[in-house]
Chains A and B, each alone.
Chain A
Amino acid sequence: MAQNEKGFPWKHVFGFLLSIILTLLAVWITFSTDLPTNTIITLIVVLAFCQAFIQLLLFMHMKEGESGSWQATMIYYGIYIAIVIVAGSIWVMSLGHQHHY
Chain B
Amino acid sequence: MSEIAPKQSNLPLEYSTKQNQLNILGFWIFLGAELALFATLFATYLVLVSRTAGGPGPEELYELKTVLIETFLLLTSSFTCGLAVYEMRRGKQAGMIGWLIVTILLGIGFLYFEIEEFILYAVHEGATMQTSAFLSSFFALVGTHGLHVTIGIFWILIIILQVLKRGLNADTARKVFISSLYWHFLDVVWIFLFTLVYLTGMVS
A residues sitting closer than 8 Å to B (CB atoms) are 2-6, 9, 12, 15-16, 19-20, 23, 26-27, 30-31, 37, 40-41, 44-45, 47-48, 51-52, 55-56, 58-60, 62, 64-67, 70-71, 74-75, 77-79, 81-83, 85-86, 88-90, 93-94
Contact = CB atoms under 8 A, between A and B. Distances in A.
The 10 nearest A-B residue pairs measured at CB: A78-B35, A78-B32, A82-B39, A89-B43, A48-B195, A71-B28, A16-B79, A85-B39, A74-B32, A5-B89
Judged by DSSP, the binding face of A is helix
A31 B32 contact: no
The size bracket of the interface on B is: 35 or more
Given A4-B12, A67-B25, A78-B35, 5 more contacts: A12-B86, A15-B79, A45-B195, A55-B185, A66-B15
B105 interface: no
A18 to B, nearest CB: 11
8 contacts: A4-B13, A26-B199, A30-B202, A44-B195, A55-B188, A66-B8, A66-B15, A74-B29
B2 interface: no
Given A4-B89, A12-B79, A81-B35, A31 B28 contact: no
Nearest to B15: A65
* Majority DSSP secondary structure for residues of B touching A: helix
A94 B47 contact: yes
A90 B36 contact: no
A6 B92 CA distance: 11
Contact of B200 (A20, A41, A64): A41
